[in-house]
């Protein structure tokens, strides 16, 4: 999608772009770059995507601008899709029961954030703006839990192309139940800081997350794929993970569950 490609910005020029519910204005004045945002409620927004382009009409007077000193020779800006800066808690449409020895694959839809960068060879990150403002939630017990974002998503089992949304990235999450009891998955906590973003024809994707549940008293093993997802043909990687990982994690709070013995 052209919206993620670098764009030239001339002195005194203002560019506008659109990614679903998020509209962005970027203006160049002397040695400064100014950025303003406007959002629609996600339920009211269409899936329009507009690459940064010059506007001819005056900018809305209601905009609130941020200003960055970047140098008078900076004439390139770029938008970059990145994952949120906290883990994301999502719920399946209905709780899913996974018997011992079985696994389930979920496709989790996560609202992206948009980085605004300036410059070419050594781009400077000016700001990050969420496409959707999402509320916070606490995941885990009071002493060892963590602050997350709460996201409404259906955690689908099958991808449906007509539902592609450009301001969200699809994260494949595979859960294996290696415990001796049945697993009732009610919530998924996805540590999105370990995810990259990839471009597909009409949808963003992330690398795959593999979770192995080993019982209530044992931490689960979490692996983050090092390769692009294989469920769709994807293009180049658009952004690296905020915190790249080279090894597996042991996490006790990746899934919220109820286990049933005697199966």
Residue 116 lies in a domain: no
Answer whether 85's CB lies under 8 Å from 192's CB: no
Domain, as residue range, for 64: 2-81
CA 84, CA 149: separation in Å to the nearest integer? Answer: 8
126 within domain boundaries: no
Tell me, yes or no, whether 92 lies in a domain: yes
Contact between 18 and 51 (Cβ < 8 Å): no
Same domain, 206 and 164: yes
Mean pLDDT over residues 63-85, rounded? 94
* b/e map 97-123, b = 16+ CB within 10 Å: bbebeeebebbbbbbbbbbbbbbeeeb
220 and 104 assigned to the same domain: yes
11-57 tens-digit pLDDT: 999 999 999 999 999 999 999 999 999 999 888 888 888 999 999 88
| Mean per-residue pLDDT over the chain, rounded | 85
pLDDT value, residue 195: 95
167 or 95: which leads in pLDDT: 167
Q: For residue 20, tell me if it sits in a domain.
A: yes
Do 168 and 112 touch, CB atoms closer than 8 A?
Answer: yes
> Do both 70 and 105 map to the same domain?
no
The pLDDT > 90 percentage for the chain reads 48
In a domain, 91, yes or no: yes
Which residue did the predictor score with more confidence, 146 or 129?
Answer: 129
Within-domain flag for 118: no
* 94 and 197 together in one domain: yes
Measured CA to CA, the distance from residue 261 to residue 90 in angstroms comes to 26
What is the pLDDT at residue 200?
85
* pLDDT higher than 60, residue 189: yes
The model's confidence at residue 257, banded by pLDDT at 50, 70 and 90, is very low
**Cα dihedral 93, 171, 136, 257 sign:** positive
Q: Does any domain span residue 218?
A: yes
What is the distance between the alpha carbons of residues 166 and 242, in angstroms, rounded to a whole number? 20
- How many domains are there within the chain? 2
User: Do 38 and 104 sit in the same domain of this protein?
Assistant: no
Q: Same domain, yes or no, for 169 and 147?
A: yes
Is residue 124 in a domain?
A: no
With 70 as the cut, is the pLDDT of residue 213 above it?
yes
Based on the domain organization, do 139 and 254 belong to the same domain?
yes
Asked if residue 254 and residue 203 are part of one domain, the reply reads yes
Do 153 and 250 reside in the same domain of the chain?
yes
pLDDT digits (tens, 9 = 90+) for 95-136: 788 999 999 898 888 999 999 999 987 689 999 999 999 899
Is residue 216 predicted with pLDDT exceeding 50?
yes
Residues 46 and 162 in one domain: no
Structure tokens at 225: 């794929």
The confidence band for 246, taking pLDDT boundaries of 50, 70 and 90, is low
pLDDT digits (tens, 9 = 90+) for 153-163: 777 777 765 45
Same-domain pairing of 69 and 151: no
193 with 206, same domain: the answer is yes
């Amino acid at each position: 999608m052209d919206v993620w490609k670098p764009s030239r910005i001339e002195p005194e020029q203002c560019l506008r772009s659109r990614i679903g519910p998020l509209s962005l204005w970027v203006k160049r004045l002397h040695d400064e770059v100014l950025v303003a945002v406007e959002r629609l409620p996600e339920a009211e927004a269409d899936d329009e995507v507009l690459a940064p382009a010059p506007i001819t009409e005056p900018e809305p007077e209601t905009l609130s601008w941020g200003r960055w000193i970047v140098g008078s020779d900076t004439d390139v800006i770029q938008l970059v899709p990145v994952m949120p800066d906290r883990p994301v808690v999502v719920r399946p449409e209905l709780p899913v029961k996974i018997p011992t020895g079985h696994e389930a694959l979920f496709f989790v839809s996560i609202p992206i954030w948009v980085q605004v960068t300036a410059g070419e060879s050594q781009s400077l990150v000016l700001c990050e703006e969420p496409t959707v403002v999402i509320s916070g939630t606490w995941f885990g017990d009071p002493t060892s839990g963590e602050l997350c974002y709460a996201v409404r998503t259906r955690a689908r089992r099958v991808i449906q192309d007509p539902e592609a949304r450009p301001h969200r990235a699809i994260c494949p999450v595979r859960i294996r139940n290696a415990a001796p009891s049945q697993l009732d998955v009610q919530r998924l906590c996805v540590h999105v800081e370990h995810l990259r973003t990839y471009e597909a024809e009409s949808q963003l994707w992330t690398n795959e997350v593999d979770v192995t549940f080993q019982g209530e008293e044992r931490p689960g093993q979490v692996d983050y794929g090092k390769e692009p997802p294989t469920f769709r043909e994807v293009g180049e990687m658009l952004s690296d993970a905020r915190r790249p990982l080279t090894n597996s994690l042991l996490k006790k709070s990746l899934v919220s569950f109820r286990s049933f013995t005697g199966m």
